[in-house]
Amino acid sequence: MIVAFSVAPGGTGNTDGSVHDAVAAAVKIVRESGLPNRTSSMFTEIEGEWDEVMDVVKRATEAVGAYGSRVSLVLKADIRPGHTGELDGKIERLERAIDEL
Amino acid sequence: MIVAFSVAPGGTGNTDGSVHDAVAAAVKIVRESGLPNRTSSMFTEIEGEWDEVMDVVKRATEAVGAYGSRVSLVLKADIRPGHTGELDGKIERLERAIDEL
Amino acid sequence: MIVAFSVAPGGTGNTDGSVHDAVAAAVKIVRESGLPNRTSSMFTEIEGEWDEVMDVVKRATEAVGAYGSRVSLVLKADIRPGHTGELDGKIERLERAIDEL
Amino acid sequence: MIVAFSVAPGGTGNTDGSVHDAVAAAVKIVRESGLPNRTSSMFTEIEGEWDEVMDVVKRATEAVGAYGSRVSLVLKADIRPGHTGELDGKIERLERAIDEL
């Protein structure tokens, strides 16, 4: 499965809306997990089995909790038994399909 | 924490887009969990601690997997330590705030 | 189509994570729109055509912008041509399907 | 603002869960829009003003409608007045913050 997730603190007390310190703590945990992952401007994607992926998301969410009084988590998962290497595989199929349009 | 989640099968083979059988299997698991929950037309909400809520979401997602070759899960969590009874509590604060506008 | 959306301000300067004033301003706009709608603890659902629904979501999002320096919007839409009355219709089909499990 | 969105058809009649043809049609519209954009394995991100971004999302969603009887759209927006170039800007701030942890 691939999980794309975004986690952000609330109640930080700041007025400029910056959350990069909190997000950095979360992404650091993802990168240290050893699971295939990629971070864009809106989501971090991780590939693996449910238990290992969700353990990383849990620890990343807990890390963000230190930066505010509330945490918001948004997650989208694509679960497809028998498929691996999909962080790149899905994009490759997509690019071929665009070429064929 | 409160989790709102939506889970649906892909690759069902049908052409009318119906997914209520699969969603029913998921919601049944939620209701049998004993955790506070509520289902709307788009999401099912569950309140509890991370491990117990995510265990229910995992089993609900697995149940949906029987209805197709792929499963899509969308989840939003609001984690606020020290707050419980928030399925109703959040709505009550909201309604009061609307009255005061 | 049905849209479920959640909108919240960031950079509010508060440390308790409260956002009910901002959310109240958004929900008030939804209710005054005249479109079928329902608010749960996590999302507000609206039913209608794309342009009318998205106009309401845009104005609700703008209203929340007054409460902080940044706005986060999460939206899930279910678009099914030929279906209306689905805020209740989807739940009725779901409940029947649960009864038949 | 940055919008990350994912759109997929339902009721396609296939049993393997493939949706890359439909997603290709959506991403093609995004790329032809001229707005800054990036596609990962789970979401396509677009940067611009509300009306121009939502017009692209609407047309991408309509294109996907041709591939099935139902369309599911998931969207997350980060609206931050006065910030542009954020598809890269957010990642650069994030990487610096990770280096400083």
The predicted-structure confidence for C28-51, as pLDDT tens digits, reads as follows 999 999 999 999 999 999 999 999
Paired tokens of D60: 């991408």
The predicted-structure confidence for B40-95, as pLDDT tens digits, reads as follows 999 999 999 999 999 999 999 999 999 999 999 999 999 999 999 999 999 999 99
pLDDT score, position C8: 97
A36: confidence class by pLDDT, cuts 50, 70, 90? very high
Within 8 A of A4 by CB-CB distance, chain B residues are none
Question: Residue ranges of the domains in chain D?
Answer: 2-99
pLDDT score, position D46: 98
Residue B99: other Cβ atoms inside 10 A: 8
Among candidates C5, C6, C18, which has minimal Cα distance to C67? C18
pLDDT score, position B95: 96
For residue B50, give the nearest of A58, A76, A78 by CB distance.
A58
pLDDT score, position C67: 96
Q: How many helices (H) and strands (E) does chain B have?
A: 3, 4
For the domain spanning D2-99, the CATH number is: 3.30.70.930
Paired tokens of A73: 């988590």
Please identify every stretch of chain D with a pLDDT value under 50, giving residue numbers as ranges. none
Pairwise CA distance, residues A45 & A28, whole Å:
13
pLDDT score, position C76: 98
What pLDDT tens digit does each residue of chain C (101 aa) get? Answer: 999 999 999 999 999 999 999 999 999 999 999 999 999 999 999 999 999 999 999 999 999 999 999 999 999 999 999 999 999 999 999 999 999 99
Tell me which H or E stretch contains A27: helix A20-32
Runs of H (alpha helix) within B1-101: 20-32, 50-65, 86-99
Q: Does any CB of chain C come closer than 8 Å to the CB of residue A76? A: no
Paired tokens of A32: 């240290």
pLDDT score, position B24: 97
pLDDT score, position A21: 95
For residue B41, give the nearest of C23, C42, C90 by CB distance.
C90
pLDDT score, position B3: 98
Torsion of CA C12, C13, C14, C20, to 10 degrees: -10
How far CA A26 is from CA of A46, A60, A63, B48, in Å, comes to 12, 4, 6, 22
Among candidates A63, A20, A54, which has minimal Cα distance to A39? A20
Interface test with C, best of A5, A6, A7, A12 (most C CBs within 10 A): A12
Pairwise CA distance, residues D28 & D60, whole Å:
8
pLDDT score, position D98: 96
Q: Which chain A residue has its CA at the smallest distance from D3's CA? A: A42
For residue C11, give the nearest of A16, A72, A74 by CB distance.
A16
The amino acid present at B44, given as its one-letter code, is T
pLDDT score, position C62: 98
Reported ipTM: the value is: 0.96
- In a 13 Å sphere around the CA of D1, the CA atoms on its Cβ side amount to 23
pLDDT score, position D4: 98
